[in-house]
A = this chain, B = another copy of it.
Amino acid sequence: MKRISILGSTGSIGRSTLSVTETYPERFQIVALAAGKNLEAAFEQARRWRPRMLSIAAEADAEGLRTRLRQAGMNDIEVVYGAAGAVQVATHRDADFVVSAIVGVAGLEATFEAVKAGKTVGVANKECLVAAGELITAEARRQGKPLLPIDSEHNAVHQCLRGGRMEEVERIWLTASGGPFLNTPRSEFSSITVEQALNHPTWKMGKRITIDSATLMNKGFEVIEACRLFHIPPSKVEVLVHPGSTIHSMVEFVDGSILAQFSVTDMRLPILYALTYPERIPSDMRFPVGNLRHLDFCSPDMNKFPCLRLAYEAAEAGGAKTVALNAADEVAVAAFLEGSIGFDDIPKIIEGTVSATNAAKMESIAKVLEADATARRYAQEWVLGMARKTVRPRATSVV
């Protein structure tokens, strides 16, 4: 029986995780849940999975939730809240496995504390590896516990890596759908609308990650994540555009053999893999291999998609540069979604913010959060400047 805490239980990955655990009640038990602001969903999850602890985002909601649970006969569920509540969920003494799926930097502290507490952590939160990857992976190594990737690309890499040892890896090949603008001429990028950018060809995802897929920044983040997760330099991580997204990623070994992983595009599959690793257990998520007909590939165009180049540069520099990359991207994407800036302004804001940031080493989660806030302010200021059609803000060092 694996005992699980979920950070971000009411989000997409959180709900998929609960769905997976529900399929195998003899294998998994839910110990603690950290939900967000959706009280109704949190209450329903508590009723259905009877965790020992339930955390919600706002202190103001905690007492009301406690009362409601008591009235429904669930006195035994401890209600906690906020960042400290998420840490309590992450470090719950009855949990063996923690799924880190809180979106954004809000998930950093709780994830880091889970790793420090010796839990096995399944990572779905991008910021854990992009912004705080050096810190968190170093701690996981110190604890001798695996960090198991829950996004499809790194999960695929993790599977392929079983075909050899890390020192036998020549290169990691991350596949990319290429997004909706793979074949759009660069000259049309300035007139791309929000609606066009939200139309992702293969995966249905949240808005930010969909825009990040359209700019290839999401693939750039994944390059950084791969570097951190697998302790490999950016020069050994390559991106191959594969519009069908059938093959999720590949590993090339020094002897010349390449292993590739594919499966249906269902997040429950990497979640199940992470939850059961090193075992595999039967699922109904069958890819119809016999119906496989065509797989297509092409090279990514870094000139058309400068975000990918920016990510490689930040990965190489490390430290606060990757923090700034993520923060600036979040600000720029939000501004694009609001209509304040154009699609091709996104990389400009990111590049400006990252180049104004020193590659300071991040020694604590607090430092990461500080660098994140500074970069956000800088990027925000730039967005305002752009929105007012004024000149770019003064380039001051942000860290």
Contacts and interface: CB of A to CB of B under 8 A. Distances in A.
Contacts of A260: 247, 259-262
A75 interface: no
A150 to B, nearest CB: 14
Main secondary structure of the interface of A (DSSP, over half): mixed
A48 interface: no
Interface residues of A, number: 50
A261 B272 contact: no
Contact of A294 (B256, B273, B295): B295
A282 B171 CA distance: 12
Interface string A266-277: 000100110010
A159 interface: yes
A260 B156 CA distance: 11
Interface string A158-197: 0110111100101101000000000000000000000000
A84 interface: no
A290 B299 contact: yes
Nearest to A293: B297
Nearest to A164: B280
A126 to B, nearest CB: 22
Interface of A: 159-160, 162-165, 168, 170-171, 173, 238, 240, 247, 250, 252-264, 269, 272-273, 276, 279-287, 289-290, 292-299
Given A162-B164, A255-B276, 8 more contacts: A255-B272, A255-B283, A256-B285, A256-B287, A257-B269, A258-B261, A294-B294, A295-B295
